[in-house]
């Protein structure tokens, strides 16, 4: 895994001192301080030391951000890095490189690895590997149950003590309600969120895609909205009883958005995320011969897509996450197509999809988008991130909102390329990603 200077990241981090960087002429968007205007930014070591309309100090590296936004580095609270155990799909290093390519400076990895990240040693493994090899900040969530088997709670306290900022059974729900309630009690005591993949596995009943007429015509079983909504209601009720912070992952139905909205009105500590593919595509876009459209939860109806967008607009939905789920080309090429594993990658395209489908149509301003993709994740998970203020960490993305580009294989830094967005025309391109005071990604077009 090579860094921006053509050297392994561990050598790069140990052998090269952080440099001073001066960013000139950019439009700074800071959702934390509500700053929105033309400013220069001076970075020394790993901190932002000055933000002013004109900075005359010299720096070792000068970036002309004319025509671009300068924003806090993006934070993705829902990625799958497949490390340990399935590194043919992705690794900590390649997943972090994909994140840097997409403007992300912090990501939270899910625990459905092999072995499952259900103890402090596996948490330590990911965190140590990330510190040595990853260009960005990588954090690891702990599993709720041992082996994600849903029978016995994992040692939640020890994983939190090791630095796990959340627990999750992502990829499935804890179907035992009493066990789930006990996990929420412990999480509340430890002060960490419970991230819920809402899926009633019994109701799935072999379903492979959204339950609509097109899937039934193919003789296949569908996944109804109730599969998600029933567990969402259950988990909200348990959060209300335990006082836990419940975070609903990848909401895909208009019903789950309404559930979150009503829970917040009752002062239940619930937050929620949606993924770019769920506010961009619907079940009508699905190519039945292409497993890159197979994901869990599935692509839903236009009513669901519009309900998600409204939830983003009215604040019911707190953040945007990718559910970056890499799979090998061989796995996605299995026949019949619906036997392929679920999931798509998303780190490289998330910001552009959000700009194209949320900002350009007027659903969100750029400041509001940065709240969903940086500030809110930082606040809700107590990361000292999400700001462009003086003294803040030098984690930034420089982004050209108006550059139109077509997604190609060359734009994918992930080890896997399973995405339905190859060939999509999008607005907005990441030009630079800066993490910890280092340039960790620079667009090739910028270099030319």
pTM of this prediction? 0.95
What is the chain's Cα-based Rg? 21
Q: Residues near 127 by Cβ (< 8 Å), separated by ≥ 6?
A: 138, 139, 140, 162, 163
pLDDT score recorded for residue 161: 98
pLDDT score recorded for residue 158: 98
Per-residue pLDDT for 147 more than 90?
Answer: yes
Per-residue pLDDT for 396 more than 90?
Answer: yes
Helix (H) or strand (E) holding 27: strand 21-30
Please, are residues 250 and 168 in contact by the beta-carbon 8 Å criterion?
Answer: no
Per-residue pLDDT for 16 more than 50?
Answer: no
Give the model's confidence band at 14: pLDDT under 50 very low, under 70 low, under 90 confident, else very high: very low
C-alpha span between 127 and 131 (Å, rounded): 6
Residue in the block written with tokens 């190859």: 422
DSSP 8-state code for residue 53: S
Helices 254-265 and 225-242: crossing angle in degrees, nearest 10, is 20
State the average pLDDT over residues 326-345: 96
Neighbours of 336 (CB within 10 A): 12
Per-residue pLDDT for 264 more than 70?
Answer: yes
3-state DSSP helix/strand/coil % of the chain, to nearest 5? 35, 25, 40
Per-residue pLDDT for 8 more than 50?
Answer: no
**CA separation, residue 100 to residues 128, 176, 306 (Å):** 19, 38, 30
* 211 assigned to active site: no
C-alpha span between 121 and 347 (Å, rounded): 27
Helices 120-133 and 92-101: crossing angle in degrees, nearest 10, is 60
pLDDT score recorded for residue 6: 39
Q: Which of 170, 323, 395, 443 is catalytic?
A: 323
- Residue 50 forms beta bridges with which residues? 42
CA dihedral 394, 395, 398, 404 (to 10 degrees): 180
How many helices and strands, by DSSP H and E, does the chain display?
A: 16, 19
pLDDT score recorded for residue 446: 60
Give the model's confidence band at 17: pLDDT under 50 very low, under 70 low, under 90 confident, else very high: low
pLDDT score recorded for residue 220: 83
- Among 10-24, 163-177, 366-380, 407-421, the minimum mean pLDDT is found in 10-24
Q: What tokens appear for 1 in the block? A: 């895994």
Q: Is 12 left (phi over 0), alpha (psi -120 to 50) or beta?
A: alpha
CA angle 13–18–22, rounded 5-degree value: 140
pLDDT score recorded for residue 333: 97
C-alpha span between 53 and 285 (Å, rounded): 46
Per-residue pLDDT for 123 more than 90?
Answer: yes
C-alpha span between 426 and 357 (Å, rounded): 9
Give the model's confidence band at 447: pLDDT under 50 very low, under 70 low, under 90 confident, else very high: low
pLDDT score recorded for residue 444: 85
Q: What is the DSSP string of 332-392?
A: HT-SSGGGSPP----TTTHHHHHIIIIITTTSS-HHHHHIIIIIHHHHHTT-S-S--STTS
CA angle 164–175–212, rounded 5-degree value: 110
Give the model's confidence band at 5: pLDDT under 50 very low, under 70 low, under 90 confident, else very high: very low
Sheet holding 104-109, edge to edge: 74-79, 104-109, 137-140
Helices 225-242 and 177-190: crossing angle in degrees, nearest 10, is 50
pLDDT score recorded for residue 439: 98
C-alpha span between 164 and 40 (Å, rounded): 35
State the average pLDDT over residues 321-325: 98
C-alpha span between 18 and 11 (Å, rounded): 13
pLDDT score recorded for residue 19: 83
Residue in the block written with tokens 């097109």: 214
pLDDT score recorded for residue 4: 40
pLDDT score recorded for residue 216: 82
C-alpha span between 81 and 343 (Å, rounded): 12
Per-residue pLDDT for 308 more than 70?
Answer: yes
What proportion of the chain, given as a percentage, has pLDDT over 70?
95
pLDDT score recorded for residue 117: 98
Query: What is the average pLDDT value for the chain, to the nearest integer?
Result: 94
State the average pLDDT over residues 421-431: 98
């Amino acid at each position: 895994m090579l860094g921006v200077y053509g050297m392994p990241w561990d050598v790069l981090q140990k052998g090269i001192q952080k440099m001073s960087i001066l960013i000139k002429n950019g439009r700074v968007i800071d959702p934390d301080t509500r700053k929105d205007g033309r400013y220069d930014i001076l970075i020394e070591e790993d901190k932002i030391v000055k933000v002013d309309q004109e900075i005359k100090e010299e720096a070792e590296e000068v970036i002309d951000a004319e025509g671009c936004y300068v924003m806090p580095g993006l934070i993705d609270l829902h990625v799958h890095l497949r490390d340990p155990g399935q590194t043919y799909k992705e690794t900590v290093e390649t997943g972090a490189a994909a994140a840097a390519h997409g403007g992300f400076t912090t990501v939270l990895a899910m625990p459905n690895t092999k072995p499952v990240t259900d103890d402090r040693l596996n948490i330590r493994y990911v965190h140590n590997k990330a510190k040595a090899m990853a260009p960005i900040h990588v954090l690891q969530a702990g599993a709720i149950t041992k082996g994600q088997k849903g029978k016995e709670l994992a040692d939640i306290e020890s994983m939190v003590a090791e630095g796990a900022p959340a627990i999750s059974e992502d990829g499935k729900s804890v179907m035992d309600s009493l066990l789930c309630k006990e996990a929420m009690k412990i999480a509340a005591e430890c002060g960490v969120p419970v991230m819920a993949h809402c899926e009633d596995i019994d109701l799935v009943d072999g379903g492979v895609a959204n339950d609509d007429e097109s899937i039934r015509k193919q003789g296949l079983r569908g996944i109804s909205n109730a599969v998600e909504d029933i567990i969402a209601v259950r988990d909200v009720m348990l959060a209300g009883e335990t006082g836990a912070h419940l975070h609903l992952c990848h909401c895909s139905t208009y019903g789950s958005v309404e559930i979150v909205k009503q829970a917040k009105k009752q002062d239940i500590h619930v937050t929620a995320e949606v993924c770019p593919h769920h506010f961009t595509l619907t079940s009508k876009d699905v190519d039945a011969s292409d497993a890159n459209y197979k994901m869990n939860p599935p692509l839903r109806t236009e009513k669901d897509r519009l309900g998600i967008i409204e939830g983003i607009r009215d604040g019911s939905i707190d953040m945007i996450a990718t559910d970056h789920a890499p799979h090998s080309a061989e796995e996605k090429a299995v026949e019949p197509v619906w036997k392929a594993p679920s999931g798509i990658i998303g780190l490289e395209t998330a910001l552009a999809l959000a700009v194209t489908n949320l900002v350009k149509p007027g659903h969100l301003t750029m400041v509001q988008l940065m709240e969903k993709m940086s500030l809110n994740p930082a606040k809700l998970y107590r990361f000292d991130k999400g700001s462009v203020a003086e003294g803040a960490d030098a984690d930034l993305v420089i982004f050209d909102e108006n550059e139109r580009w077509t997604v190609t294989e060359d734009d994918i830094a992930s080890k896997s390329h399973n995405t339905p967005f190859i060939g999509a025309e999008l607005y907005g391109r990441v030009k630079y990603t800066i993490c910890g005071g280092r340039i960790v990604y620079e667009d090739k077009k910028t270099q030319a």
